[in-house]
């Protein structure tokens, strides 16, 4: 059958090579191709913006905002709405042409490339979109390195957008994203130079995660050890999913005193750890598990659901919750109501979803009890003496660092092969501790793994972006133990990945010098054999085997 599309950016790429008829994520070919066209236009914007910057002419911050939103909206499971993607293309072409006009006025000579020349009308979008995908680059190694960079930029863009929503922005991050995108259009860069660009992307990824960490903790306090309720109360409620804490704050404020309860789902679970949110008595706790279980869990929730970021699973025909789901920010789905962005720094208006919740029944209880989390860097470092004593005494043999490598976007996933991570956690020797971030934790955060001298054996730092906390913890332990190399720590890396936020986490770890990372359940389809070989030989990237084999190799050996 003739390919209608090509996408290999997530772990579920069909047959381990790429989706060609329809995305395994549920995206149809026309929407997938339209996203390729949006990236095509965005690369043109990035090229002009970079040349203007090099000439000493700074562009509006809106250029940075458009670029990050365009990248974010093309992350796996974020946006399935072809109309919203099309609107972004139209807006992007207008912005690109405005930048081109500035360049011409300043006598800046622009390259003659399709990304700057094409000016098609909307009726030509479908045809054009079929010609601008990743397979335009014939050399598979060059293609692999460029896409590795682009997918890292997508993850970085998500974190930069979250920070910006809280009022924290660093121009150098926008400038790098634009320059790196522009570099993926260059024909004169060697594989070695593109490899350097990949690592530089990781370095800026660290900066982006540090900025978001600052934005989150400055706004809402440092996450603290928290016992999170996973049961329900008998009030109508709203379920909030995703990663955007600004939306969480405003939804809590607007529902206070309304009789509506708020529950988190999937990656929003760590919102329960922030002190600022604990003052809200109607913030009940977490409902459900990782993103891929939402079809069943949303049926049982009964109230409306708000997606603030990616992790959408298209509902089945006849799903009772189809008319109860709302999107906002870079997300979208055909037929679902979209809550517009804030204008002029005003508060986002959640009145429609609140009114909807009042008409709904209370959630059905699907489990009860509590889970513990809140072990971000500030909290763990407060326990540093206790942790160091446990390691030095032999009570803790090793830490097992578990983050979403696209994550682990992070993420858990639907494949049965991911049962590996539950079995790995269950079979870990009792003197090992799991450090985690991202929704991969749902594979083991409800297991009765106990503690070591009062230290829980699962330390949840938070969302996928809180992998930054895990890096800080590792660097602090390196300092405490007086080690020259971070790889000398009693830490092994066994990372589950799904989408592009996990890609930037991986690149960030590599840029910090971390080696011998195991990725699973499969290596990315976008890694060519030669690029994969470089990662294996230079950075010790490995794949998973069986839990028994990997525990023997990583822990016992």
Q: How many CA atoms lie within 13 A of 333 on its CB side?
A: 25
Per-residue pLDDT of the chain (557 residues; tens, 9 = 90+): 578 999 999 999 999 999 999 999 999 999 999 999 999 999 999 999 999 999 999 999 999 999 999 999 999 999 999 999 999 999 999 999 999 999 999 999 999 999 999 999 999 999 999 999 999 999 999 999 999 999 999 999 999 999 999 999 999 999 999 999 999 999 999 999 999 999 999 999 999 999 999 999 999 999 999 999 999 999 999 999 999 999 999 999 999 999 999 999 999 999 999 999 999 999 999 999 999 999 999 999 999 999 999 999 999 999 999 999 999 999 999 999 999 988 776 899 999 999 999 999 999 999 999 999 999 999 988 877 777 677 677 776 666 654 322 233 336 788 888 999 999 999 998 888 888 999 999 999 999 999 988 888 899 999 988 988 888 888 888 888 888 999 888 888 888 999 999 999 999 999 999 998 999 999 999 999 999 999 999 999 999 999 999 989 888 76
Pairwise CA distance, residues 263 & 169, whole Å: 29
Backbone angles phi, psi at 22, to 5 degrees: -155, 145
123 burial via Cβ count (<10 Å: 0-12, 13-18, 19+):
exposed
H or E, element range at 417:
none
499 and 310 Cβ atoms separated by less than 8 Å: yes
Pairwise CA distance, residues 255 & 262, whole Å: 8
Contacts (Cβ under 8 Å, ≥6 apart) of 451: 457
Pairwise CA distance, residues 476 & 407, whole Å: 24
Coil, helix or strand at residue 403: coil
End-to-end CA distance of the chain: 48
H or E, element range at 502:
helix 500-511
Contacts (Cβ under 8 Å, ≥6 apart) of 15: none
pLDDT for the residue numbered 506: 93
pLDDT for the residue numbered 396: 67
* Residue in the structure block whose two tokens are 């995908």: 133
* Residue in the structure block whose two tokens are 């133990």: 481
Residue 261 carries which DSSP code?
Answer: E
Coil, helix or strand at residue 158: helix
H or E, element range at 78:
none
208 and 159 Cβ atoms separated by less than 8 Å: yes
Pairwise CA distance, residues 287 & 265, whole Å: 5
Residue whose C-alpha is closest to residue 371's, from 443, 464, 473, 292: 443
pTM value is 0.95
Coil, helix or strand at residue 260: coil
* Residue in the structure block whose two tokens are 């800046």: 108
Which residues are bridge partners to 79 per DSSP? 332
pLDDT for the residue numbered 406: 23
Pairwise CA distance, residues 7 & 133, whole Å: 8
Residue 512 carries which DSSP code?
Answer: T
Pairwise CA distance, residues 434 & 458, whole Å: 5
């Amino acid at each position: 059958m003739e390919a209608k599309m090509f996408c290999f950016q997530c772990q579920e790429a069909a047959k381990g090579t790429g989706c060609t008829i329809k995305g395994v994520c549920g995206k149809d070919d026309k929407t997938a191709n339209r996203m390729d066209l949006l990236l095509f236009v965005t690369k043109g914007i990035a090229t002009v913006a970079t040349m203007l910057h090099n000439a000493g002419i700074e562009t509006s911050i809106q250029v940075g905002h458009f670029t990050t939103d365009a990248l974010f909206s093309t992350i796996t499971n974020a946006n399935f709405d072809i109309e919203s993607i099309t609107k972004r293309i139209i807006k992007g072409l207008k912005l690109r042409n405005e930048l081109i006009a500035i360049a011409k006025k300043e006598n800046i000579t622009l390259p003659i490339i399709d990304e700057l020349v094409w000016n098609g009308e909307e009726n030509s979008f479908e045809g054009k979109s079929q010609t601008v995908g990743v397979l335009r680059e014939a050399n598979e190694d060059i293609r692999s390195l460029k896409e590795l960079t682009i997918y890292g930029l997508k993850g970085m863009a998500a974190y930069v957008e979250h920070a910006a929503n809280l009022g924290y922005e660093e121009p150098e991050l926008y400038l790098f994203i634009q320059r790196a995108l522009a570099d993926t259009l260059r024909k004169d860069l060697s594989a070695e130079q593109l490899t350097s660009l990949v690592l530089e992307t990781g370095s800026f990824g660290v900066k982006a995660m540090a900025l978001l960490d600052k934005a989150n903790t400055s706004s809402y306090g440092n996450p603290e050890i928290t016992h999170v309720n996973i049961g329900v109360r008998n009030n109508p409620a709203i379920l909030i999913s995703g990663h955007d804490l600004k939306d969480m704050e405003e939804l809590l404020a607007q529902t206070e005193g309304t009789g509506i309860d708020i529950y988190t789902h999937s990656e929003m679970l760590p919102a329960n750890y922030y002190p600022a949110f604990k003052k809200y008595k109607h913030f009940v706790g977490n409902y459900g598990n990782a993103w891929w279980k939402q079809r069943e869990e949303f049926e049982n929730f009964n109230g409306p659901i708000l997606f603030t970021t990616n992790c959408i699973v298209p509902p089945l025909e006849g799903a009772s919750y189809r008319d109860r789901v709302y999107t906002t920010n870079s997300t979208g789905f055909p037929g679902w109501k979209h809550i517009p962005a804030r204008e002029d720094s005003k508060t986002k208006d959640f009145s429609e979803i609140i009114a909807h919740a009042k008409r709904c029944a209370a959630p059905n209880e699907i489990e009860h009890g509590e889970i513990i989390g809140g072990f971000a860097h500030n909290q763990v470092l407060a326990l540093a003496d206790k942790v160091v004593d446990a390691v030095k005494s032999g009570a803790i043999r090793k830490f097992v660092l578990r983050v979403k490598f696209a994550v682990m976007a992070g993420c858990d996933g639907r494949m049965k092969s991911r049962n590996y991570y539950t079995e790995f956690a269950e079979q870990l020797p009792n003197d090992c501790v799991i450090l985690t971030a991202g929704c991969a934790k749902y594979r083991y955060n409800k297991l009765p793994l106990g503690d070591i001298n009062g230290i829980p054996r699962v330390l949840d730092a938070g969302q996928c972006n809180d992998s930054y906390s895990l890096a800080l913890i590792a660097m602090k332990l390196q300092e405490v133990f007086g080690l020259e190399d971070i790889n000398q720590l009693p830490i092994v890396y066994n990372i589950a990945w799904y989408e592009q936020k996990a890609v930037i986490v991986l690149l960030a770890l590599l840029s910090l010098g971390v080696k011998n990372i195991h990725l699973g359940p499969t290596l990315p389809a976008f890694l060519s054999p030669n690029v994969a070989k470089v990662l294996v030989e230079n950075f010790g990237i490995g794949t998973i085997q069986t839990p028994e084999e990997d525990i023997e190799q990583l822990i016992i050996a």
